[in-house]
Structure 1
Amino acid sequence: MSLAAHLDGGWSRAHPSYYYVPEAPVVSPVVSMEAAAAMGVAVAVVIWLVLWAIAVGAGDSIILKSAGAREITKEQAPQLWNVVEEMSIAAGLPAMPRVYIIDDSSLNAFAVGRRPEKAAVAVTAGLLKRLNRDELQGVIGH
């Protein structure tokens, strides 16, 4: 092709890249950002699903372990065991929750478990030392 034909635009308008090249600096980053955003959303959804499955399946044991709770028997803390047993009967629970003690001097207690058969109650040693039976019933009943 002659230089005159090229300058006249005869060849360049017929070539497919003529129509795409001027838009490439604008379109390419936009398409790349859209693809990256879609990929980021997909990765976030997968991470969320994994964390949700872990929370549903093992959330109670993760919380108890992170608090340093240890499961006890009736012989180890009979008053606590009896109060939890009484409160679970009064609440109409199908089974008594597992009972845990956390070796900490602070006054704290919490319950975990999404279903009655997975339920657990954890109480700190400080709470057991400082509260009488009636106060302990109030904490466990709450």
Structure 2
Amino acid sequence: MPRPTKYRKVEFFPQSTYFIPLGKPKCEIKEIALKVEELEAMRLKDIEGLNQEECAAKMEVSRQTFQNIIDAARKKVAVALTEGNAIVIEGGNYTVKFCKFKCLNCGNTYEVNYEQDKRICPSCGSNNIVCSKRSGCCRKWCK
């Protein structure tokens, strides 16, 4: 029996999570799902310029696991760019710290962990929520 997948630590969420080639109808485009931790691996290595060991430490995984994650991410992006596919950033096995959110409809304030990936208020069911701390820990929902 394989070991359970360990959650990868991520620090960044993009504001835009869907990228589509210009001039192609959406109904004709294949989507490629890029996991949140795959994007984080590319950000750390390719944008931050960290070495593999530093990246692995930040994500709290082994160097080999980090290499597997970034290899998968780069392949998905390369395929999407060369074949004209859409990229959707979603899912994965990731975790970050808790963050406080406020519902703009009912005023409820609550904490959520990103691994739960909830975008609705637990009180009223609204998806009209914002980060109440604006601390940068929850860029995924901050507007």
TM-based fold match above 0.5: no
Instruction: Judging by fraction of residues, say which structure has more strand.
Output: 2
Higher RCO (C-alpha under 8 Å, 6+ residues apart): 2
> How does the TM-score come out when normalised to structure 2?
0.19
> How does the TM-score come out when normalised to structure 1?
0.19
Greater Rg by CA: 1
